[in-house]
Amino acid sequence: MLNPYLKLNPKVFDEDVEKKATRDGYGEALAELGEKDKDVVVLTGDLSESTRCEQFAKKFPERFFECGVAEQNMAAVAAGLAKEGKIPFISSYATFSPGKNWETIRTTIIYSQANVKIAGHHAGIMTGPDGATHQATEDIAITRAWPKVTIFNPCDSIEAKKATLEAVKIQGPVYLRFTRDKSPIITTDETPFELSKVQTFWTSENPQVSIFATGYILYYALLAAAELEEEGIKTLVLNVSTIKPADEKGIISAAAETGAVVTVEDHQVAGGLGGMISEVLAKNLPSPVEFVGLQDTFAESGKPQELIEKYGLGKTAIKKAVKKVISRK
What kind and span of H or E run contains 40? strand 40-44
SS3 assignment, position 240: coil
The full length of the chain comes to 329
Please report, to the nearest 10 degrees, the dihedral formed by the alpha carbons of residues 82, 177, 199, 128 taken in order: 170
Cα(20)–Cα(223) distance, integer angstroms: 18
Q: What is the pLDDT of residue 17?
A: 84
Cα(197)–Cα(246) distance, integer angstroms: 8
* Phi, psi at 2, each rounded to 5°: -100, 145
- Give, to the nearest 10 degrees, the angle between helix 273-284 and helix 248-258: 80
Amino acid at 121: H
Q: What is the DSSP letter of 244?
A: E
Please check whether residue 204 is in contact with residue 151, taking contact to mean a CB–CB distance below 8 angstroms.
Answer: no
Catalytic residue among 32, 49, 71, 229: 71
Alpha helices, H only, the chain:
22-36, 54-59, 71-83, 102-105, 139-144, 157-169, 218-230, 248-258, 273-284, 304-310, 315-327
Q: What is the pLDDT of residue 16?
A: 72
Measure Cα distances from 214 to 36, 153, 280 in Å: 29, 6, 16
CATH number of 19-184: 3.40.50.970
Please check whether residue 32 is in contact with residue 165, taking contact to mean a CB–CB distance below 8 angstroms.
Answer: yes
Cα(119)–Cα(179) distance, integer angstroms: 11
Evaluate whether 10-16+192-327 and 19-184 have a shared fold: yes
> What residue ranges do the domains of the chain occupy?
10-16+192-327, 19-184
Provide the whole-model pTM: 0.96
- Report the candidate in 143, 222, 181, 166 with the shortest Cα–Cα distance to residue 24: 181
What kind and span of H or E run contains 238? strand 235-239
Fold of 10-16+192-327: Rossmann fold (3.40.50)
**71 included as an active-site residue:** yes
Q: What is the pLDDT of residue 11?
A: 47
Order of strands, sheet of 64-66, starting from the edge strand that comes earlier in the sequence: 64-66, 40-44, 87-93, 117-121, 174-177, 150-152, 242-244
- Split the chain (329 residues) into runs of 10 and give each run's mean pLDDT: 60 71 98 97 96 97 97 98 98 98 98 98 95 96 98 98 98 98 93 95 95 97 93 97 98 98 98 98 98 97 96 97 97
- Report the candidate in 326, 246, 223 with the shortest Cα–Cα distance to residue 2: 223
Q: What is the pLDDT of residue 10?
A: 42
